Copies of this chain bind each other. A is one copy, B any other.
C-alpha cells in the first residue's frame, strides 16, 4: 500500500475522514421439518440478541470478516457469505459513523449447534425488534434466498445429498413461505436433478427415489 497518492486537491487518501465498516450477517437455515430460521448471538455489551457481526480489520476482505465473526461469535464454520446491501443511515447505529455491509450465509441446520447461551436459532418470524436495524438485514436476506429457491433445487445446499423429492419440496416450502403443488414442483425440478437408487427407511409408503443436484 502506498501513501504517495494525491488527488486533484493534493490530498492524501488518509486526509479524508473514514467511517467504521461493519459486516452483519443473516445466517439462514431450515431445521428438519421446521420453518426458515436465523442465527442470533447475544451481544455481550448490550445484552440484546442480534445478528453476528464485527468491524473489518485492516486490509481484510468483507467475506473474511463475515467468516471470522461467525466463527468467533457463534462457533459456526460459515460457508459462502453473499453480500446484500450497505446500510448507511447515520442514525442507524448510535455508536458513531458506521457503515454496515449486510451479508447472507446459508448453512445446513446440521452444521449449526448453538449452545443457547451465546447463540441460538430462531424462526425468522420471531426475530422482529433487533437493534441496529438488523430486522432490515433479515428482510433482505429472506428476499434474496426466496428468489434463489424459486428457480433451482436447493441452490445453497441446505440438504445433504441424496434427498427425496418430498424433502426438497419441504425445504423450498419453508423458504418460500407457502405450500407448493407436489406435481408441478416435481416437474419443475426433475430436469435439474439426477436420480440415484431408491432408498427409504421410515414408515409405510412406496420408497422414494433419492436425487442429487445437477
Q: Does A95 contact B (CB under 8 A)?
A: yes
Task: Show 20 residue pairs from A and B whose CB-CB distance is below 8 angstroms, ordered by the A residue.
Answer: A1-B97, A2-B94, A5-B94, A5-B95, A5-B96, A6-B45, A13-B98, A14-B96, A16-B20, A16-B57, A17-B58, A18-B20, A18-B21, A21-B99, A59-B90, A59-B97, A62-B86, A62-B99, A83-B86, A86-B86
Interface size class for chain A? 35 or more
The count of identical subunits is 2
Q: Hey, what's the 0/1 contact readout for A175-198 against B, CB within 8 Å counting as 1?
A: 000000000000000000000000
Q: Is the CB of A19 within 8 A of B56?
A: yes
Chain B residues lying within 8 Å of A167, measured Cβ to Cβ, are none
Task: Determine the distance from Cα of A58 to Cα of B8 in the docked complex, in whole angstroms.
Answer: 19
Residues of A within 8 A of B (CB): 1-3, 5-8, 13-14, 16-21, 44-45, 55-59, 61-62, 83, 85-86, 88-90, 94-99, 101
Chain B residues lying within 8 Å of A57, measured Cβ to Cβ, are 16-17
- The interface residues of chain A, by DSSP majority, are classed as loop
**5 tightest A-B contacts by CB?**
A18-B18, A17-B58, A5-B95, A8-B44, A13-B96
Q: Is the CB of A90 within 8 A of B61?
A: yes
Assuming the contacts A16-B55, A18-B19, A19-B56, asked whether A61 and B83 have C-beta atoms less than 8 A apart, the reply is no
